[in-house]
Amino acid sequence: MFRMSRQHRAIAGAWLIAACAAGRAHGQSAQVIQIPAEVKAGTTMYAFTDGARPTAAVKTAGDFRFEVPPTARLMLYVPGYAISVYDFTGRSQNVGQPFAPQLVPLAPARVAARLVDSAGQPLAGRRLSLAYQFSPAFRFFGILDGNLPVISLGAATTASDGTIAVDAPSLAGDPALQRYGEGHVCVWDSDARGSGCGFDLTLRPNTFAPGTLDSRQITIVRTEPGTLAGRLGSAYLDEHRASGEARQHARVLAEATGPTVAAVNMLALYANVAADGSFSIDLPKGTYTVTFVTLKPNSPMLRVEQRDLLESGVAIDERRVHRIDRP
């Protein structure tokens, strides 16, 4: 029921290779995670260890074991089950022995939606996926920002009237999500241009209760993206210590502040600042806060070093360009 897209499987496979390499490097000091037989074969699981770096593993038949680097804290996500959180600090945990987490199954939540174009006409035969960016690891491990996996919650193809129904895990009953932050569910449209996953602010994990989500049907409007573009001049970059080689750490971040009409074709959330100070981001129609940020050098988790508000209440419309320029 919880299948991943081809791209997600490819990413998971890359993480799995990295995890196996890490396990070999640590040898007997690696932490072994044992997954019980009731978890279906083919399920992709994610284990987060200190530093919030994820390890992905695809379960084979029967009992299954995989290795993660030695850790004092562990956060494990298995689709269809509540998140497992463990803190081994001060405990006599032998990392050389398999650790069997207690997995609590979650009842399904039926998510009903209808996909239409900007004129309100239904879009049939479109493959939509619900996905979740695994943000609880930020708070659990004390990370401010970073690259976390987008996890598939379920997928379906729209009918002739544009409707879909997806059975997703009832995330509202997950204690770890409630404690460490729920984050956002996003909608993935495989037919939309680009490979992004747009955040729909009406889809929050705490609304995914057993039964039908909110007892209503969500309408998703697919539109053409608009463009946020501009140029940051040398005076601005000098003022914010982002000139010369430091420019490689500069980004322009667009954060949705109201429901994005075209949540299904979010193409990017941030843009690099080019050598001439220019930037460009394609975004769904909606309202955004635009911020200039610089990242801490040599930070694998993209830690933000400084922020500066460029503009709030930015309205992005279909096929239109909104510019922000600074001298």
CATH of the domain at 200: 2.60.40.1120
Clarify whether residues 33 and 129 are in a common domain.
no
Clarify whether residues 81 and 156 are in a common domain.
no
Query: Do residues 253 and 269 touch, judged by C-beta distance below 8 A?
Result: yes
Residue 180 lies in a domain: yes
Residue 46 belongs to what domain range? 6-87
Choose among 313, 97, 81: nearest CA to 174: 81
pLDDT at 9: 34
Residue 302 lies in a domain: yes
Whole-angstrom Cα distance, residue 106 to residue 256? 30
CB contact set of 270 (below 8 Å; sequence gap of 6+)? 251, 252, 253, 254, 281, 293
Whole-angstrom Cα distance, residue 20 to residue 33? 13
pLDDT at 125: 92
Clarify whether residues 217 and 242 are in a common domain.
no
Whole-angstrom Cα distance, residue 144 to residue 311? 22
Q: What is the pTM of this model?
A: 0.59
pLDDT score of 107 more than 80 = yes
Residue 96 lies in a domain: no
CA distance to 54, 262, 270, 310, 321, per residue, from 317 (Å): 36, 10, 18, 19, 8
Last residue of a domain, one of 200, 222, 244: 222
Query: Do residues 300 and 206 touch, judged by C-beta distance below 8 A?
Result: no
Residue 133 lies in a domain: yes
Q: What is the mean pLDDT of residues 26-54?
A: 78
- Residue-level length of the chain: 327
Clarify whether residues 260 and 160 are in a common domain.
no
Clarify whether residues 247 and 218 are in a common domain.
no
Residue 102 lies in a domain: no
- Give the 3-state secondary structure of residue 113: strand
CA distance to 84, 280, 289, 315, per residue, from 225 (Å): 38, 12, 17, 12
Where does residue 151 rank: exposed (0-12), middle (13-18), buried (19+ CB within 10 A)?
buried
Clarify whether residues 211 and 264 are in a common domain.
no
Neighbours of 12 (CB within 10 A): 22
Q: What is the mean pLDDT of residues 214-226?
A: 70
Clarify whether residues 56 and 134 are in a common domain.
no
* The total number of structural domains that make up the chain: 3
Whole-angstrom Cα distance, residue 245 to residue 257? 32
Last residue of a domain, one of 191, 222, 253: 222
pLDDT at 258: 63
Last residue of a domain, one of 169, 199, 222: 222
Residue 246 lies in a domain: yes
Query: Could you read off the pLDDT of 116-155 as tens digits, one per residue?
Result: 877 888 989 988 888 887 778 877 877 666 666 777 788 8
Which band of pLDDT confidence, cut at 50, 70 and 90, is reported for residue 213?
A: low
Clarify whether residues 115 and 148 are in a common domain.
yes
- Report residue 194: phi and psi, to 5°: 90, 175
What are the DSSP calls for 11-30, one per residue?
HHHHHHHHHHHHHHHHGGGS
Residue 155 lies in a domain: yes
Whole-angstrom Cα distance, residue 91 to residue 94? 9
| Among 2-6, 81-85, 108-112, the least confident range | 2-6
- Residue 23: what residue type? G
Which band of pLDDT confidence, cut at 50, 70 and 90, is reported for residue 18?
A: very low
Q: Which two structure tokens, joined as six digits, stand for 296?
A: 């801490």
